Amino acid sequence: MTIMDEDTDEDSHRLPMLLEAVLSVGTDLELRTTLQRIVDSATELTGAHYGALGVVDPERHRLTEFFTAGVTDEERRRIGRLPDGHTGLLGVLVQDPRPLRIADLTADPRSAGIPGNHPEMRSFLGVPIRVHTEVFGNLYLTEKPAGGFTDEDLALLRVLASQAGIAIGNARLYETTRQRERWIEGAAAVTTALLTGESAEDALMTVAEQARILADASAGVVLQPTPEGGMEIVAASTNDDPGDLVGTTIAAGSPVLVQLLGGEPVFVEDSATDPRMTTHVRSRFGPSMMLPLQSGGKLIGTLALPRRRGGPPYSAVDRLLASQFASQAALALVLADARHDRERLAVYEDRDRIARDLHDLVVQRLFATEMMLESTRRRAAAAASDDPDADADADADAGSASASASASASASEESALLGRAVDELDSTIQEVRTTIFALQQPPADAPTSFRGRVLRETGGAAALLGFPPSVHFSGAVDTLVEDEAAGKLLAALRGALAAAHRRPGITAITVEVTAGSDGVRLRVEDDGAPPTTVVWP
């Protein structure tokens, strides 16, 4: 048999292997599994001892992932950090993606930079893998026994690389579709959660947590603008303790803040070394995305998704999907805020209705009842003083005089009871009027009127006392009380309530605020034994 016959036999033997390799690389849609199968098929097809596939980042022109064959776990551990494709023959293929065959690596000056613990290698064969017109990565083979790599090996590897490009394209498309589905489902979950009545704090935490999970980030944080012109982290989600993340502030004028306030996304390669990052927490993070949360031209905040130091950088697909998620989350936050505003408005309208009903029905009826009782009391007093027996004969018997005195005493007692009933009704009217005023105040806002500030002090003291103090206002307190006097009165009220809280056996406190032409007066009285009364000034 001639040498040509031997080559023909070898080629005919490898053709079925090539067909099997081409079929095997396209049998799985999971990208990482496909890449590993390509390496294994290439080494088996060419008879190489070692094989590797390096994934090239088209934006950074370096290797981001490395799949190997023929290298044990122990050997990989000894090699240490994987190559980045900036130096050596791997860098040559990254910069110039054309097939490369070398008989002896040790004699080629371009093979510099091989780690000391790397297995010994001499023969080398490398080809690029293209997905459409883009270079996805490079396939490297080394150490083929019996004379090194041949032209036939190169031809077979180029055919395999071409088919691998098709398989990788399909796997990438499948993975991108699944990734897009996850982001869409996450955005829908956020929208549903925000529109089911979560508080503002819970809503921001939901956005941060969902984004962190979807982006496979080390943390998910939401920042909001501060009155000083900076931005502050108001919600943070991490796998570990968020520590000092919440409350961290980006100072006004920071370069990254200029972009964020302008509605531009910021993509950072390494948070720890990027000069645009100025916060004290940047040292713990690596690649990061900072995406504006804006809707209708309004900036609500910023969603930041940093990965750990040394983590994989975000791809173009990651950035696109995260930006779309941020837009959807911003819209959901706006809708949730509008929903909460409508609910608060409904509460205010209901409270206004209750206040009107209390004023128009309850107070008026109580006042009418008070007037009737007062009129009855006056008539009873007049009847008691206008005694028809006053001009009777002085010689009337003792029994008649005693009966007249008893009737007069009974009339006085009834008059006193009616007087107390009138006082109780007057006190009740004051209580209802105070309640009406409290109902008309927005519960979430700090009171601006003096009456509202007094009610805020007594309302806060109710949590400590265990009961609400009774508050009465007399006169136009909101108009007549000046700011200086108001501050002193509130301080005196605060001290009186605190003193009452320290005394045992207190079950009721009455607060009276009176304003007139001669100034403002405060009176605080409790039901202790003995009762304590504080009068200011």
pLDDT at 317 over 80: yes
The string of pLDDT tens digits covering residues 87-112 is: 777 778 778 888 888 888 777 777 76
pLDDT computed for residue 2 by the predictor: 40
Between 226 and 113, the more confident residue is 226
Between 438 and 331, the more confident residue is 331
The count of C-alpha atoms lying within 13 angstroms of the C-alpha of 271, restricted to the half-sphere facing its C-beta, is 27
pLDDT computed for residue 418 by the predictor: 67
pLDDT computed for residue 301 by the predictor: 83
pLDDT at 416 over 50: yes
Would you say domain 3-177 falls under CATH 2.60.40.10? Answer: no
What is each CA distance from 462 to 348, 507, 509, 523, in whole angstroms? 23, 11, 10, 17
Backbone angles phi, psi at 58, to 5 degrees: -65, -25
CATH class for the region spanning 197-314: alpha beta
What is each CA distance from 301 to 261, 295, 330, 499, in whole angstroms? 9, 10, 8, 45
Fold of domain 447-537: Heat Shock Protein 90 (3.30.565)
pLDDT computed for residue 525 by the predictor: 87
Which regions of 96-218 does DSSP assign to beta strands (E)? Answer: 100-102, 124-131, 134-142
pLDDT computed for residue 112 by the predictor: 67
Give the pLDDT mean for 152-168.
Answer: 84
Give the pLDDT mean for 320-339.
Answer: 81
Judged on CB neighbours under 10 Å (0-12, 13-18, 19+), 522 is buried
pLDDT computed for residue 72 by the predictor: 78
Between 358 and 50, the more confident residue is 50
Give the pLDDT mean for 300-328.
Answer: 85
CB 182 within 8 A of CB 317: no
Lowest mean pLDDT among 153-157, 181-185, 291-295, 366-370: 366-370
pLDDT computed for residue 409 by the predictor: 60
Q: What is the mean pLDDT of the chain?
A: 76
